């Protein structure tokens, strides 16, 4: 999804709605920088925030190991288990660590 596409989805989602921005790129230009630019372009029109719950993002969008997570599993442990790393705005699954990917995921909230 390009900047234009991300921008349009954020404009059309209802207040209280979510937009999942996801790519199959390892480039920050196509990942976090697109999110930053979209938020900056829309800051005068609406409030956009980034999900503060990356664990939920992982559970919904990344194939997790079959062993269930303990409630005490830290974000760092969880990311390590799935071969992912945090980025400025989301998470990225890297092929050399996960055996698949790349995949970048960021959950945006419109309020």
CB contact at 8 A, 79 and 58:
yes
Where residue 33 falls among pLDDT bands split at 50, 70, 90? very high
Q: What is the CATH number of domain 3-110?
A: 3.40.50.150
Angle between helical axes of 54-61 and 75-82 (0-180°, round to 10)? 30
- pTM here? 0.76
Cis peptide before 93 (omega within 30 of 0): no
State the chain's mean pLDDT as an integer: 81
pLDDT in tens, 92-110: 988 888 788 798 988 888 8
pLDDT in tens, 40-70: 988 888 888 887 666 565 566 555 555 555 5
What residue ranges do the domains of the chain occupy? Answer: 3-110
Report the alpha-carbon distance of residue 42 to residue 44 in Å, rounded: 6
pLDDT of residue 20: 87
Give bridge partners of residue 65 from the DSSP assignment.
none
Asked whether the predicted pLDDT for residue 32 surpasses 90, the reply is yes
């Amino acid at each position: 999804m390009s900047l234009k596409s991300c921008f349009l989805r954020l404009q059309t989602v209802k207040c209280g709605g979510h937009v999942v921005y996801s790519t199959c790129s390892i480039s920050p230009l196509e990942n976090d920088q697109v999110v930053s630019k979209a938020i900056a372009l829309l800051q005068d029109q609406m409030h956009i925030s980034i999900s503060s719950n990356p664990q939920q993002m992982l559970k919904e969008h990344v194939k997790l190991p079959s062993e269930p997570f303990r409630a005490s599993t830290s974000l760092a442990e969880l990311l390590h288990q799935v071969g992912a790393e945090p980025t400025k705005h989301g998470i990225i699954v890297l092929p050399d660590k996960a055996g698949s990917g790349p995949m970048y995921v960021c959950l945006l909230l419109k309020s």
